[in-house]
A = this chain, B = another copy of it.
Amino acid sequence: MRKEELAEILEKVRQGEMDTGEALSRIAMEPVTDLGFAMLDHHRELRKGLPEVVYCEGKHRDTIRPIVETLLEKNRGNILLTRACDEVYEEVRAAFPEAEYHRQARYILIRREEKELVGKIVVVTAGTADIPVAEEAAVVAELTGNAVERLYDVGVSGMHRVMSRADVFLEANVIVVAAGMEGALPSIVGGMVECPVIAVPTSIGYGANLGGMAALLGMLNSCALGVAVMNIDNGFGAGYFANLINQLAVGGGSK
Contacts and interface: CB of A to CB of B under 8 A. Distances in A.
Nearest to A233: B207
A109 interface: no
A75 interface: no
Copies in the complex: 8
A70 interface: no
Nearest to A196: B244
A32 B119 contact: no
B10 A20 contact: yes
Of the candidates A20, A40, A241, the one having the most CB atoms from chain B within 10 angstroms of its own CB is A20
Interface string A52-80: 00000000000000000000000000000
Interface string A208-229: 1111111111111111111111
A112 interface: no
Interface string A33-45: 1111111101100
A51 interface: no
Contacts of A6: 24, 27-28
Contact of A163 (B31, B120, B208, B240): B31
A90 interface: no
A249 interface: yes
B249 A171 contact: no
Contacts of A7: 20, 24
Contacts of A120: 255
A146 B24 CA distance: 35
Nearest to A172: B255
A119 B35 contact: no
A151 interface: no
A119 to B, nearest CB: 6
B35 A28 contact: yes
Nearest to A6: B24
A7 to B, nearest CB: 5
A105 interface: no
Given A170-B39, A248-B195, A229 B220 contact: yes
7 contacts: A47-B194, A156-B223, A207-B212, A209-B217, A214-B220, A249-B253, A250-B255
Given A208-B221, A226-B240, 4 more contacts: A182-B218, A203-B207, A225-B241, A249-B253
